[in-house]
Amino acid sequence: MTTRTTAIDPVTLAVLKGRLEQIADEMDATLYRSAFNPIIAEARDACHGLYHAETGATLVQGTNGLPIFVGAMAFAVKAVIDKVAKEGDLHPDDIFLFNDPYDGGTHLNDFRLVRPIFRNGQLFCWMASVGHWLDIGGNVPGNFNARATDSFQEGVRIPPVKLVKAGVMNHDLLAILAANSRVPVSNYGDLNGQLNALDLGVRRLTELLDEHGEETVSAAFDAFTARADALMRSAVSKLPDGVYSFEDYLDNDGITADRLLIALDLTIAGDRMTLDFSRSSAPCAGPLNIAYSTAVACCYVALKHVFTDVPANAGCLNPITFVIPESTLLAVKPPKPVGGYTETILRVIGVVFGALALADPARATAAPFGTINALSLAGHRKDGSRWVMFSFFGGGLGGNPETDGLNHANNPISTATIPPVEILEAAYPVMFTQWALRPDSAGAGLHRGGLGAVYEIEALTDADVFLLGERGVFAPFGVAGGSPAALNRFTWQSDEGEKSPPLASKVTDVKIRDGQRVRLETPGGGGWGDPKRRDAEAVARDVRLGYLGREAARSAYGVALTDDGVLDIAATATLRESPAA
């Protein structure tokens, strides 16, 4: 697809924007409804879009796709373009498959399918699908191996290869994929869901091109890119010039207890922004590294959260310069392990939020809970069949200048939903004995953080347990005088009593027996503003709802209650007027 000079009127542009986004949305919906594993079907850990024929740049994304995939997919499509340029072998109805996290991927579970779209014998654009498969080999069921020291311990790495050549399926490749998974039927179902989504996308795009023509649609693509560029430049230019630095830490790398620094120096100069991560920690031994493409993708997610009017198009990154050296854990090469990428990107997003808040305090938001708590349970059913349950879990979001943080929300890396308890219990031999808000987990503030959650899971067979999480040492921070939230906490039952991980929120090779339980208590969000300025009635209401204990109300907020839970106005005034307050 080459750049066209065809003029396009605003009405036609708006119509095409809606139609093209609908194509991606419909592809998303097709996969959600046909995938076998709950992480796609329920949690919506997937994404679809259209990409530039020559550069792989993002042209159109759906409104429901996972944001972190939106940012990374352009690198994935470019990897296929480079392969085609090298080998000179591309046909209509080819489909490439790969999961290489160092070449446009994220981690090994995320499988990408990339398909060329031809018109009149010429390549017009690319279409792509990505979804999280449940298991792809490696040392740990579900592949979140907190003890991995190279990628070979995390699963099978597939470079860009042709799954389908000129419409003919490569069944040998399917056999290799099936042989390297503990749950091949689940993966096969997810693969077919992605193939069907691409087939639908091709039909819908063909209908659109037949109706409007290639030149008009190409002109719309150019207009989308120019508009995203202009809107991002406008947003950046409204920030004061300067250098804004922000830092946060990861608890450890799963191998040693040493903390890992994520440091950002953000420079605003007119309508351009530079994100420099050079001061971040060196590549680590464990799986908390990420590849360059992943680092850029999570910066894209952070910027989209802050500048909400900028559309999902590669043009929004034109005014942004990224400095992410290979000397840091944010731009590693193989075989450095990257399976814990979800934890690292959350911290990267957090420091982007923090630096932008320094540039514009009105945008300051306290830290969200900042961990997906990737929990895997695996074993054999009574009939001998293998099962692998992987899920992620919610927590509290940070307080902000306008409101309290959300209780039991998802992290800002995604629009994914936490899989429902009913679905998990139906799919796997487990029983949730508790799924509740976690009292006293929110950071105190004028606008408090949201509450974390408590999940207690009983295994109905003997099971192996693996957790890769964060925020067990460094709590979600508060801002503008707000307090940090509670730390992450994980425990499990054993014949010797309750146990917890030596490295806070990371553990492998835990074995529990039929009837024993694991318990996850997730962090809340940090608080925004001075807690002593919070409306006393709001504090009393939080106590009555069970969000906050009486002692915490008194010590953190200076609020006293009567024995029947009513606000004690006089005692509260005394507490708040005391020098200690």
| Residue 283 located in a structural domain | no
Q: pLDDT tens digit string along 20-69?
A: 999 999 999 999 999 999 999 998 899 999 999 999 999 998 888 777 78
Total structural domains within the chain: 3
**Residues 440 and 492 grouped into a single domain:** yes
Q: What is the rounded CA–CA span in Å between residue 360 and residue 258?
A: 32
Task: Examine residue 414 and state whether it is found in any structural domain, yes or no.
Answer: yes
> What is the model's pLDDT at position 415?
63
Q: Which of 229, 262, 289 is the last residue of a domain?
A: 229
Last residue of a domain, one of 209, 229, 249: 229
Looking at the structure, tell me whether residues 490 and 541 fall in a common domain.
Answer: no
Q: Give pLDDT tens digits for 384-394.
A: 999 999 999 99
Task: Please check whether residue 350 lies inside any domain of the structure.
Answer: no
Give pLDDT, residue 404.
98
* 527 shares its domain with 540: no
Same domain, 471 and 521: yes
Q: Is residue 60 part of a domain?
A: yes
In a domain, 340, yes or no: no
For 415, list phi and psi in degrees, rounded to 5.
Answer: -105, 10
Whether residue 567 is contained in a domain is answered as: yes
Same domain? For 493 and 557 the reply is: no
Query: Same domain, yes or no, for 163 and 25?
Result: yes
User: Which among 213, 229, 245 is the end of a domain?
Assistant: 229
Residues 6+ apart with CB under 8 A from 461: 379, 380, 381, 382, 387, 429, 514
Is the same domain home to 87 and 166? yes
**Residue 549 belongs to a domain:** yes
Q: For residues 131 and 149, state if they share a domain.
A: yes
List pLDDT tens digits, range 411-427: 877 666 788 999 999 99
* Pair 545, 480 in one domain: no
pLDDT at 67: 73
8 Å CB contact between 390 and 40: no
Tell me the whole-structure pTM to 2 decimals: 0.94
What does the radius of gyration of the chain's CA atoms come to, in whole angstroms? 24
| Same structural domain, 575 and 513 | no
Residues 61-119 have pLDDT tens digits of 888 877 778 778 899 999 999 999 999 889 999 999 999 999 888 999 999 999 999 99
Q: Which residues of the chain have pLDDT under 70?
A: 1-6, 414-416, 580-581
pLDDT of 414 reads 64
Q: Does residue 215 share a domain with residue 131?
A: yes
Exposure b/e, 524-554, CB count within 10 A at least 16 = b: bbbbbbbbbebebeebbebbeeebbeeebbb
Is 377 in the same domain as 402?
yes
Which structural domain range is residue 64 located in?
10-229
In a domain, 421, yes or no: yes
Q: How far apart are the C-alpha atoms of 69 and 128, rounded to whole Å?
A: 11
